[in-house]
Structure 1
């Protein structure tokens, strides 16, 4: 019980993050000077986890606190104040152990486009008070494609509905996709426009203060969504392409496994029967990895970020004119080609900042091809 005869507790301002260190320095100074017969005129010093930027010193007078602070550069002696007697009890009372957020914990977002959305903690950094979470994306791939084409993003656009994004959808952004390994978890993510994707989910590193993690009880429907992934869906289902990504909706029907086997066998037979001759050949060639077919003059991606146009069909691969300032021609094996890409993925803007793409009719106003 505190009383009027108890020593005064002084609150001394210090640098944020140095509270524990300063309390230790007071104790170390007390023990060090005690060996030489000099007594530091304080009774105790302590720091509290929930009070940042302050260290507490128990002493009789203010001058005793000033004397004890001599030689310390991380404290502000001129910003010393007394703790009222009525607040001493609550200051020194024990507090319940804070809730620890561990991997697998269910949380909800406090604000932003994902306000109220369920998320799951993947990893936690207790020192920085940050966590890596995964949640169902609210991403407009159509807007991202326009952004890469030079269009100006619209402010105040409607927030997309949450849905998982398959890896097939991301492959159409081939040159814009980067693979990065997270240092903390070691997982590899596909990064598109600064957004991290893996297995259809969006991964974000956020501050712990931006999450609600007390008493979260997800519904069965929400848990079911987190247990599903585009990569484990039935191959007989229709796979939606990027919704309206290049001006109109496209959908590709994925054949069932028996049909795929028949198709593969028929392709092998036709491939054996045909002879590829020089760069004038226009026959389809099979990709060993995903049974994709490529024709002469097709746009394809290969390597990490490279893309180009097939200009010749050779015995063991294709001759491709690379996109870029250098415009060099390289020979690429069939198995090294990832995917064909749509012409309209490559867009530009006119002098009015309007997007133009392949097969669009334009009028040349100036330059060497004016009036042509």
Structure 2
């Protein structure tokens, strides 16, 4: 078995990292377009129709199953951190629907002739730690010998259908709240080129391993009309999905959007992922940019977020409650970043 001290960096084994590995939304639409649709049972409350965060199936009037799966290649080199990030990212899709996770299954693909069993074990232990933080067990899973290291979860949760929150339902007059700052993709690009300092790495890990636990509490507020999490398609892509699903125009006040400390400087220095450009190519025609928005701003808008924050559309009179819930869960960066208006589905970004 390979000596762990001579193993390659995890990120060097992956052609892309974290949610930046996701197939670009435009390409994914082309792939799915040719697949024949199947009958949809009435109890399937959420399927593929609006590209939502998880599937939801009603069991009875007060219980529904929430199911999702998410996995990717390494976004960091530390095995334990990689496992924690991947597991947190998967579990947070349950929270984004307003659900409470109850258990998970591990999805493991590892190059067993390249990585030691000790390193692979640390990845799995990191995932288990994230699950312990969420209060759930890993109840099983599946593993394969893979060319690139891949890890993630199939996560299962429960919710009351009355509290289901989708990426559809945003209403004119709503305010938009973002739970975490942007910049994870920028940081991961710098890390891969060994240009991210220890303080920046700590900020990245704090953000990507923070479970979106405000989700269920937010879902119980009648004034919260729509919710999703911002991951691989960036803020621009997930805002567009919400706009399209809701049939509304989302106006984003770009100066109000929180960024990880140092993200803009790193972007200015050229640490931008290829996924950012692919994201813009997929959905840029649906986003109207203020002429003062720079190429760097656009890259940050499309920056793929691994385990990103919740994007919430809420009535103005519910804003204080929404922000109080975020603060109670220690999401101190949660910020109002825009509003929802009637109009053709799309995103308008103002400087």
Please say whether Structure 1 and Structure 2 have the same fold, judged by a TM-score greater than 0.5.
no
Which has a greater percent of helix?
A: 2
Work out which structure has the larger RCO, using CA pairs closer than 8 Å and 6 or more positions apart in sequence: 2
What interval of TM-score do these two structures reach, taking the shorter chain for normalisation?
A: under 0.3
Larger Rg: 1
What's the TM-score once normalised by structure 1's chain length? 0.22
What's the TM-score once normalised by structure 2's chain length? 0.23
